[in-house]
Amino acid sequence: MREVYQDITSENSYYPNHVVMKIFENVSEGIMVTDVNKKILVVNPAFEKVTGYKSKEVVGKNPTILQSGVHERAFYNEMWKSIQNHGVWQGEIWNRRKNGDIYPEWLTIMSIKDEHGIVTNYCGIFTDLSERKIVESELEKRALTDSLTEVNNRFAYLKKMNSLLESSEIISNKVQHAVFFLDLDRFKQVNDTLGHTTGDLLLVEIAQRIKRLLNSKDLLARYGGDEFVITLTNIRHPREAAKFAEQVIREIEKPVFINNQEIFVSTSIGISIYPHDGDTTEDLVNRADKAMYFSKQNGRNGFSFYFEDLNIDSKRVIVLDSELRKAIENRDFTLNFQPKVSTQLNKIVGLEALVRWESEKLGSVSPAEFIPYAEETGLIIPISEIVLEKACEDLAKLRLAGYSKISIAFNVSSIHFQQQNFLESIQKILEKNNTSAQNFEIEVTERTVMNNDSDTIRKLVRLKQLGFKLSIDDFGTGYSSLSYLVRFPLDYLKIDRSFIQHIVSLDDKQAVVDAIIQMAHRLNMQVIAEGVESVQQLNILREMGCDYIQGYYYSKPVSMDGLIEFLQLWEYEHQGEIE
């Protein structure tokens, strides 16, 4: 090999032949030299390493033994045309190793001429691009893939969607595509109560469930946070989109088991149709997004198609946000109160404070609308603090009216509870209003206590030490079991109204409520039934040993003025039975 290479190096080379030979043998690039007839004369060790061929296996043969079959004849014709015209060709090419694997390389072929300008040899120098291609492929994948769920990210979706619409535009028979914008309902509560790790695992599971419903030509992307976007391609009729949305809803509402926790979530979906609702990706996604918000406003866990008048409804969200922030600044919230009555003593033993909001622009806004929105945006924290301040003020009015022992229960959002300064903010409000925690009962949800970390337990214990009574609200609608609740210093358990609603007509509801009451008593907790509306419900609950009831049977929620009138009437009719 040394002699052959020395023969083809120039007699007038600046470098001695032994130096050139050292470079030839030690460079990392593969080198192959042929004669003018393209018969291989010599290859270097790097050539052998990359191709797998030994020198003796290729010397005397044509370089075509390396061809992969990837490139057509025209590719090679252009290559040799460039070498003949310019003396060099350079570019990326796919070749085949001895073991049959094809691989990419960066190849430079140059012609070598003698002192008369006659081509005597050709020299090919190449770099194996396999590892670089793997890295590039991985980088491209990372750039286009959501790192958590491993579905398309927003950038990849927009790129693929734009390409889809470009190809759809040139088809003579117009195709239809459906774009779905999904937002998980109250996902923030899962993050806040069970932790971000659980929230992440939930998103991964949701993505996989959706993915299983799609075919290879459909698109799925995580658009951000708990939002997903789907494109169902080549649908024949919007009915297909509606059917698919129902499938997604059913799939997502199935329970998810993570770290021995059974978690339930739902989704709100907005749908736009190409080309009816737009012919650009931006229009289709924006309109599906607006339809999704409309779906959320109309009860969640459902879907809505985009329609022109939807813009009017979507504006309500913008107005709601603006008005809610003004209401917080101006403390424009009031409290209504619903009495809690002892079933055995027929005595009013407490009140629940329920927040109300009257907006100048929106009128009377239901808590079912503004509370979830406030939780999603974090505005629930100042609202919760205002509710406690108002409760302190109204407690003072009750004392002035002569009701010195009655206590007030108020609900604390899990989002507020999880704040680092929660305890400090509660104490400051009590101190500012010169009142005691013993006058209040704090209601927490199952989701709040299900977090079960040391911080949750510490806060509950500290609230008890301050003098608050503690109750778990809406029991039965979340994740808890009664045995689980023994870990927390709770005084009351409130059975959700959904169990009470059919207690008269459905035996299974009676059995569940009875079991809850008996087990709660064994855990030294007293039971409050919410949503009691009839004497039949009252009698059944009394027989079961339920301690307290609350509901329209005695009183709907009333303002402070209405409450004082109600209490005075109750005293008259029941001869002073008020604590």
Alpha-carbon distance 355 to 411, whole Å? 9
The boundaries of the domain holding residue 514 are 327-574
Residue 140 lies in a domain: no
Is 249 found in the same domain as 398? no
Is 333 found in the same domain as 189? no
| Whole-number pLDDT of residue 563 | 93
Span 416-420, mean pLDDT?
A: 88
By the 8 A CB rule, do 442 and 471 touch? Answer: yes
Q: Omega into 275 within 30° of 0, i.e. cis?
A: yes
| Whole-number pLDDT of residue 14 | 44
| Whole-number pLDDT of residue 476 | 66
By the 8 A CB rule, do 40 and 61 touch? Answer: yes
Is 431 found in the same domain as 548? yes
Is 151 found in the same domain as 93? no
Q: How far is CA 532 from CA 328, 385, 409, 506, 520, in A?
A: 32, 29, 18, 15, 19
Q: What is the CATH number of the domain that holds 238?
A: 3.30.70.270
Give the DSSP per-residue string, 380-401. HHHHHHHHHHHHHHHHHHHHHT
By the 8 A CB rule, do 128 and 105 touch? Answer: yes
| Whole-number pLDDT of residue 385 | 95
Domain end marker among 273, 308, 343 = 308
The phi, psi pair for 320, rounded to 5°, reads -60, -45
Is 289 found in the same domain as 384? no
Domain end marker among 274, 308, 342 = 308
pLDDT (tens digit, 9 = 90+) per residue, 20-34? 778 888 888 999 999
Is 470 found in the same domain as 446? yes
**Please, how many CA atoms are within 13 Å of residue 111, restricted to the half-sphere of its CB?**
18
Q: How many domains does the chain have?
A: 3
CB within 8 Å of 383: residues ≥ 6 apart = 328, 333, 355, 371, 374
- Under DSSP, the state recorded for 254 is S
Indicate whether 8 pLDDT > 60: no
Identify how many contiguous H helices and E strands the chain contains and give both numbers.
23, 21
Could you give the maximum distance between any two Cα atoms of the chain, in Å?
128
Q: Which H or E run includes 409?
A: strand 407-411
Indicate whether 243 pLDDT > 90: no
Q: What is the CATH number of the domain that holds 71?
A: 3.30.450.20
Q: Which two tokens stand for residue 564?
A: 């004082």
Is 183 found in the same domain as 161? yes
Task: Report helix, strand or coil for 542.
Answer: helix
Is 429 found in the same domain as 398? yes
The residue whose two tokens read 């021995």 is: 260
Residue 554 lies in a domain: yes
Number of C-beta neighbours around residue 32 at 10 A: 22
Residue 91 lies in a domain: yes
Is 107 found in the same domain as 183? no
Indicate whether 249 pLDDT > 50: yes
pLDDT (tens digit, 9 = 90+) per residue, 140-192? 666 778 889 999 999 999 999 999 999 998 876 778 999 999 999 888 888 88
Strands (E), 85-226: 88-96, 102-113, 119-128, 176-185, 219-224
Q: Which two tokens stand for residue 179?
A: 């774009």
**CA 463 to chain centroid:** 32
Is 377 found in the same domain as 509? yes
| Whole-number pLDDT of residue 26 | 83
Span 221-233, mean pLDDT?
A: 94
Is 514 found in the same domain as 424? yes
Residue 319 lies in a domain: no
Indicate whether 578 pLDDT > 80: no
Residue 315 lies in a domain: no
Residue 445 lies in a domain: yes
Residue 115 lies in a domain: yes
Is 264 found in the same domain as 382? no
Residue 320 lies in a domain: no
Alpha-carbon distance 559 to 454, whole Å? 38
Domain end marker among 82, 101, 134 = 134
40: pLDDT confidence band, cut at 50, 70 and 90?
very high
